[in-house]
Amino acid sequence: MGADARNMLVAREKIKKDMAGGGKANITINDLVCFAVIKALGKYPRINSHLYGETLRLFRNVNLGIAVDTERGLMVPVIRAADKLDINEFSLQASYLSDKCRKGSVDPDIIRPEAASFTVSNLGNYGVEMFTPVINLPQTAILGVNTIIPRPADLGAGVYGFVPYIGLSLTYDHRAIDGGEATRFLKSIAEEIENIEL
């Protein structure tokens, strides 16, 4: 699914201007997407879960795993209780943990698949337009974030133009999550991105 990224890009430009004026956190596009994911998970708690055999374990908080490319391979540090953080706090933690992973000094406990309740993997920086991320079991789903590309869209009043869309790919475990629920969740992420407010 694609999400209209115009509001998100406007928010990112505003953040960059605020940084030039002394703002603290360098909030990235990935941070903004993760923020939208966290909000959508609040509406779809069954997806914020682990599956152990026949048992589905739901989490009260969103423990969000963020895939980080390092020289040692892919690592997925976890931001615990990410739903309790504002966007600045989230961005600072994400940056800190990504840096720790790249330096090889991250706490092994926060890169175990069991530590996260849901994971986001972003290949947009590499220009990837579509991919299928692999679930970090026992998690029940993972979101792949693709690059932003212009697509033709109806702008209203008979006017058409190109609009930046960000691609979203959801992989989910059908034993735990019904296809309809997964689709509605993905649509909710897209809506959160399209209507992002900081």
- Confidence band for 18, pLDDT divided at 50, 70 and 90: confident
Q: Is the pTM of this model over 0.85?
A: yes
pLDDT digits (tens, 9 = 90+) for 116-139: 999 999 999 999 999 999 999 999
Whether residue 98 has pLDDT greater than 90: yes
The number of distinct structural domains making up the chain is: 1
- The tokens for 63 are 């423990």
Q: Which residues contact 160 (CB under 8 A, 6 or more apart)?
A: 152, 153, 154
Q: Which residues contact 36 (CB under 8 A, 6 or more apart)?
A: 189, 192, 193, 196
Q: Which domain holds residue 44?
A: 2-194
Assign 163 to helix, strand or coil: strand
CB neighbourhood size of 138 (10 A): 18
**Average per-residue pLDDT in the chain?**
94
The CATH number of residue 121's host domain is 3.30.559.10
- Confidence band for 23, pLDDT divided at 50, 70 and 90: low
In angstroms, the CA 32 to CA 27 distance is 7
Q: Is 174 a catalytic residue?
A: yes
Q: Is 69 a catalytic residue?
A: no
pLDDT (average), residues 49-75: 96
pLDDT digits (tens, 9 = 90+) for 171-187: 999 999 999 999 999 99
